[in-house]
Amino acid sequence: MTGSITALGLALAAIGAGIGIGQIGGRAMDAIARQPEAVGDIRANMILTAALVEGAALIAMVLSFIL
């Protein structure tokens, strides 16, 4: 087995971000099903929140490259 422990950390961060973005997407679908007329607002906010969660995974990625 070769590799670095930082890759493991990155993988954990990616799992966390994946769960988070999955929750955001799922809840947004629920909300759209409940209120189809609000689809525009929900979509914009969904992408915004998903982008913020993604930021955590990106920072983990950079740290794994640097360390």
Partner 1 sequence: MRSFSLIIGLLLSFLTVTYGQDQHGDQHSNSASHAEEASAGQEGHGACGCLHDEEAFPEYNPTASAFQHIGDANAFHVAGDFYIPLPCILYAPDHGWTLMMANKFEAHHHGNGSKAIDRYVLVHGEVKRIADTAFPKGEVEIECISHVMESVKGKEVEMPVAVYGGTCYALENRSTLDGGVFGGGITSFYDFSITKNVFTMLLVLIFFFLVFRSVAKTYQARRGQAPKGLQGFMEPIVLFIQDEVAKPFIGARYDKYLPFLLSIFFFILGLNLIGQIPFFPGSGNVTGNLGVTMVLALFVFVVVNINGNKNYWKHIFWMPGVPAPIKLILTPVEVLGLFIKPFTLMLRLFANITAGHIVVLSFVGLIFIFGKSGASMGGSLGGAAASIPLTMFIMAIELLVAFIQAFVFTLLTASYIGAAIEEDHH
- Exposure string (b/e) for 38-65, b if CB count within 10 Å is 16 or more? eeeebeeebeebbeebeeebeebbeebe
Of 31 and 61, CB closest to partner 1:
61
Least Å distance between CB 33 and partner 1?
A: 21
- 40 touches partner 1 (CB under 8 A): yes
User: Distance between CA 21 and CA 47 in Å, rounded?
Assistant: 9
Least Å distance between CB 54 and partner 1?
A: 6
Applying CB under 8 A, the residues found at the interface with partner 1 are 40-41, 44, 47-48, 51, 54-55, 58-59, 61-62, 66
